[in-house]
A and B are shown apart, each in its own frame.
Chain A
Amino acid sequence: DGGITQSPKYLFRKEGQNVTLSCEQNLNHDAMYWYRQDPGQGLRLIYYSQIVNDFQKGDIAEGYSVSREKKESFPLTVTSAQKNPTAFYLCASSRRRDSGTEAFFGQGTRLTVV
């Protein structure tokens, strides 16, 4: 079945450590997105990418980094520069050229700083 897989589902990080969240899709989608969601809040865009080896900063990119070496994969690294990383992280993908195509989401990763 086609879909988006995020791993791990739960992640614990010690202060000062970098952690990488995985996002893989087999939908042959060009566009991929990363969002952060705090409890009871909306989705805030971190980074997005429309083609391999290219990505754009979203609204809250500071303290995060991404790569897009393969069409299927868009990993997100939460660096030690992110002061408050505890949140729910969602990855999404969609077709690129058609603005009418809905984005499909993964199940999310809950990151907690301990």
Chain B
Amino acid sequence: AQKITQTQPGMFVQEKEAVTLDCTYDTSDPSYGLFWYKQPSSGEMIFLIYQGSYDQQNATEGRYSLNFQKARKSANLVISASQLGDSAMYFCAMREPYTGGTSYGKLTFGQGTILTVHP
């Protein structure tokens, strides 16, 4: 069974500094996708970045980058130059492939990390 673990309930960072949010995962599927989402206090879910299990390069999207270490089964999110608007809950998620056999495309989320950016 797949599992996602975020061990940091809360993180603090100074504005304009970088911060790393940790995520480890466990799966027996060789093919999977890893995602990061941001959830502001409004409750909406905002997609940030994606990393495929076969991707050779770490994904980057603007100020977001994903530090993918496949052997360690970790997919940490790095936010550079933090802004006050980055204060939110951040979720790591993993999706298994859909094969119609024993794999049904299950999308599992971690417990989340609350990030607070200080001015």
Q: Which residues of A contact B (CB under 8 A)?
A: 31, 33, 35, 40-45, 48, 50, 56, 58-59, 88, 90, 92, 94, 96-97, 99-105, 107-108
Residues of B near A92 (CB, < 8 A) are 45, 107
Query: Looking at the complex, which one of A42, A58, A59, A100 makes contact with B50 (CB distance below 8 Å)?
Result: A100
State whether B106 touches A99 (Cβ < 8 A).
no
Given A90-B45, A92-B45, decide whether A99 and B109 contact each other with a Cβ distance below 8 A. no
Query: Looking at the complex, which one of B33, B98, B107, B111 makes contact with A33 (CB distance below 8 Å)?
Result: B107
Given A99-B105, A100-B50, A102-B50, decide whether A41 and B112 contact each other with a Cβ distance below 8 A. yes
Q: How many A-B residue pairs have CB under 8 A?
A: 70
State whether B47 touches A102 (Cβ < 8 A).
yes
Q: What distance in Å separates the Cβ of A2 from its nearest Cβ neighbour in chain B?
A: 15
Interface size on B, residues (CB 8 A): 28
Residues of B near A90 (CB, < 8 A) are 45
Q: What distance in Å separates the Cβ of B41 from its nearest Cβ neighbour in chain A?
A: 11
Residues of chain B in range 72-119 having any CB-CB distance to chain A below 8 Å: 91, 93, 95-98, 100, 104-112, 114
Q: Is B43 an interface residue (CB 8 A)?
A: yes
Given A50-B105, A102-B50, decide whether A96 and B43 contact each other with a Cβ distance below 8 A. no
Residues of B near A94 (CB, < 8 A) are 95, 107
State whether B52 touches A107 (Cβ < 8 A).
no
Further contacts, 19 of them, CB under 8 A, given A45-B108, A90-B45, A108-B44: A42-B110, A45-B106, A45-B107, A48-B105, A48-B106, A50-B100, A56-B104, A58-B106, A97-B98, A99-B52, A99-B95, A99-B97, A100-B50, A100-B52, A102-B50, A103-B35, A103-B47, A107-B44, A108-B43
Interface centre among B44, B91, B104, B111 (most CB of A within 10 A): B104
Q: Which residues of B contact A (CB under 8 A)?
A: 6, 31-33, 35, 43-45, 47, 50, 52, 91, 93, 95-98, 100, 104-112, 114
CB-nearest residue of chain B relative to A49?
B104
CB-nearest residue of chain A relative to B4?
A42
CB-nearest residue of chain B relative to A45?
B108
Give the distance in Å from the alpha carbon of A41 to the alpha carbon of B114 in the complex.
Answer: 10
Give the distance in Å from the alpha carbon of A43 to the alpha carbon of B38 in the complex.
Answer: 12
